[in-house]
Amino acid sequence: MGRLVEVPAYPQRIVSLVPSQTELLFELGLGDRVVGVTKFCIHPKELVKGKIKIGGTKNFKLDVIDQLQPDLIIGNKEENYQEGIEALQQKYPVWMSDIYTLEDALDMMDQIGKITQTEGKVQVLISSIKTQFEALQPIQPPVTATYFIWKNPYMAVGGHNFIDDVLTRCGFVNALHHLPRYPEVTPENLAALNPQVILLSSEPFPFQEKHVQEFQDICPSAKVLIVDGEMFSWYGSRLQQAVPYLQKVLQAVRAL
C-alpha cells in the first residue's frame, strides 16, 4: 500500500479487523493484548466473547475504536474498506495484509510474529502448515469446479484470491479463474460452464443441503457438495486444520 507503519516495540492494545487474523493472535498467546475485534471474529469462540466489538469488517465504529486507544490495528486490504482504514491511519499504526496465496498467508504470519515478538511460535506454526500442504494429495486428473459464496444473486470465486489458490492446490480447475475476484453468475452462465464439481460454501452465505438440488437442476451431471468455507478461506492459524478437511472433500468428490 506504499505506507510506512511505525509500531511500538511491544504493542499492548491490539484491535483486529479480520476474523482469521484475530484467531491467529489468540493462537500466538496474544489474547490478553487484543482489546477489540469485529462482530465476525468468532474464533476462538469462548475467548472472543469478552472482547469489545468494533463493528463489521466493512463498517467500523470509529468512536468505539477511539475509546479503546489501540497502539496497533491489524487489517486486510480485501476484507476491510479503504475509507475506514484511511480514517484509522490518521490516528493509529495500522498494519495491513494483502493475501492471494498460501505463501502470502505464511508471510503475513511471519510479519505478525515479528511485530508482536512471537517469532518462535510463528515459525512452528508456519512449519506445520507448510508440511501439511506439501502432503496434500490433489485430485488426479484435475477436474473443473465452481465455488459459490452467495445466493440471490449467485456469486462465485473468480481468480486472484486465496480461495482460488486453495482450489488449485486441491487439483480443481476453477472454471471462473479468468474472471476477477467474485463474479456474479447467472444460471445460464453456470449451465454453459458445466463444471464437473460445484462447491457451495457455508460462508458468507450459509449454503445448506436444501440448496444442493437447485444447482443440480442447473447442472445435472455435476457433483454438488456443501463445504466448510472457513477451511477454504481463513488464512490464519485455522490453516492447521485445513488439509485434513480438504483431503476429506477430495475423497467425497472421488466417491460421487
Enumerate residues 6+ apart whose C-beta is below 8 A from 3.
89
- C-alpha cell read off for 94: 495500522
Enumerate residues 6+ apart whose C-beta is below 8 A from 68.
13, 15, 35, 36, 52, 54
215-231 residues labelled b (16+ CB within 10 A) or e (exposed): beebbeebbbbbbbbbb
pLDDT of residue 214: 96
Q: What residues are paired with 20 via a beta bridge? A: none
Closest CA to 201 of 222, 229, 224: 229
pLDDT of residue 108: 97
pLDDT of residue 118: 96
Enumerate residues 6+ apart whose C-beta is below 8 A from 119.
113
Domains of the chain: 14-133 (3.40.50.1980), 143-255 (3.40.50.1980)
Under a CB-based contact definition with an 8 Å cutoff, are residues 14 and 68 in contact?
no
In this structure, the strands spanning 52-53 and 34-37 are parallel
Does the model's pTM come out above 0.75? yes
One-letter amino acid at 5 equals V
One-letter amino acid at 21 equals Q
Burial class, 126, CB count within 10 angstroms (exposed 0-12 / middle 13-18 / buried 19+): middle
pLDDT of residue 256: 77
Phi and psi at 62, nearest 5°, equal -60, -30
pLDDT of residue 7: 82
In this structure, the strands spanning 143-150 and 155-156 are antiparallel
The tens-digit pLDDT sequence of the chain (256 residues) is 778 888 877 899 999 999 999 999 999 999 999 999 999 999 999 999 999 999 999 999 999 999 999 999 999 999 999 999 999 999 999 999 999 999 999 999 999 999 999 999 999 999 999 999 999 999 999 999 999 999 999 999 999 999 999 999 999 999 999 998 999 999 999 999 999 999 999 999 999 999 999 999 999 999 999 999 999 999 999 999 999 999 999 999 998 7
Under a CB-based contact definition with an 8 Å cutoff, are residues 226 and 212 in contact?
yes
Separation between Cα atoms, residue 14 and residue 16, nearest integer Å: 6
